[in-house]
Amino acid sequence: MRPVEQILSLSVRAKPSPSTERRIVALKGSGDYRKCLQELTSAGIKPVKSSRALRLICCHADKRHRWSRLRKHPRIAYVEKDAKVSAHARFPASKKRLSLRTRQACPVKAPWNVCRVQSPPLWKRTQGSGVKVAILDTGIAPHRDLRIAGGTNAIVPGGSFADDNGHGTHVAGIAAATGRGRLYGNAPRAGLYAVKALDRKGEGYISDIVQGIDWCIANGVRVINMSFGMAGDSLALRNALKRARRRGIVLVASAGNSGRFSGGLDAPARYPETIAVAASTRGNLPAFFSSRGRGIAVAAPGVNILSTAKSGHYVRMSGTSMSAPHVTGGAALLRGYAPRLSAAGVARRLRRYALRIPGGGNAVGSGLLQVAPAAYNRSRRAGTAKNKGRC
């Protein structure tokens, strides 16, 4: 049998073409990983992406080549297509620019959705200062209500992590808007990091997501927000999440927008390493578009949520994409309040102290997110979300 590095080199191409597709190859050993990279370099082939920690190599694979020999090679862990994920925003941002200075519904205080999950009562003790939060998304645009501590571009190494879509900026505002421009997020003083892994269409390859997670691990991020998903599965993504969880990172993922007949959650929300978040309405009911299924941890507001826009103004958007950053901000507050609390401990508290939503079933998990009770260990499970948690 030929060495694995030779088989791989013969199966890939230096540039994309109509006869190629992106595929991820995972090696079993570090030595095999290094040999494959050396062989590809010798052949003039630069991998699209690679991860030394996970021994992954992503290349432009020749679809006409038979990959069965490579898949069956004893030095190969697995081979999979470099699939795409999509942002979980149900509706695009409103085209109308909204000025908070002229809207009575948005005074200088936390908006209704942040009040609803009980983040403000914890602000006298912590606002998330010192906790690094990564928004793994389309990037984050400059905004007076966002304090961006840094970031990276996982699509184009060394490129800008500015938002060219708007989704990431909106998500970031829900998680950590500072209130400097009149809008508060859940953790106003958290260290906000932009990890650009989705493009201007709100789509991204698994290999870019994996590289973004690797960056978060290397840079001491404590909470990662993932407001995207896909119907299929990916071993590369799952293994990256397992590694991040072992490093103590809280992983928050949106459930998906396929509604009551979804048949389950999107990946990565359905993986047990994540806190899967469903969407609720202002009336504390499950949002019609929110995916249902086993594995949902909690629900948070996700309908017509006002947040920061890449234009520097404010827009309303809906989707489980908007629900997830409430949990992300809440997790940052818990980590600021109890720095030694483990990732599993954060998830456990958020589930335990959620408010029950009558008739929620598998649509909302444990119920409506309640951050302050989770921090103070004050159980409110005896009540329901029908008439509580309102501003």
- Residues with a catalytic annotation lie at 137, 167, 321
Select from 268, 269, 137, 135 the least CA-distant residue to 198: 137
Determine the Cα–Cα distance for residues 61 and 8; give it in Å rounded to an integer: 9
Distance of alpha carbon 48 from alpha carbon 59, whole angstroms: 5
- Degrees, nearest 5: CA angle 223-225-231: 135
Instruction: Report the alpha-carbon distance of residue 257 to residue 21 in Å, rounded.
Output: 27
- φ, ψ of residue 384 to 5 degrees: the values are -130, 170
- DSSP of 192-259: EEEEE-S-TTSEEEHHHHHHHHHHHHHTT--EEEE-EEBSS--HHHHHHHHHHHHTT-EEEEE--S--
Residue from 230, 235, 242, 240 nearest 51 by CA? 240
| Per-position DSSP letters for 304-337, written without gaps between them | SEEEE-TTSSEEEEBSHHHHHHHHHHHHHHHHHH
Q: What angle do CA 80, 81, 87 make, to 5 degrees?
A: 120
300 contacts 277 by C-beta, under 8 angstroms: yes
3-state helix, strand, coil in the chain (%, to 5): 30, 25, 50
Fill in the amino acid letter for 273. Answer: E
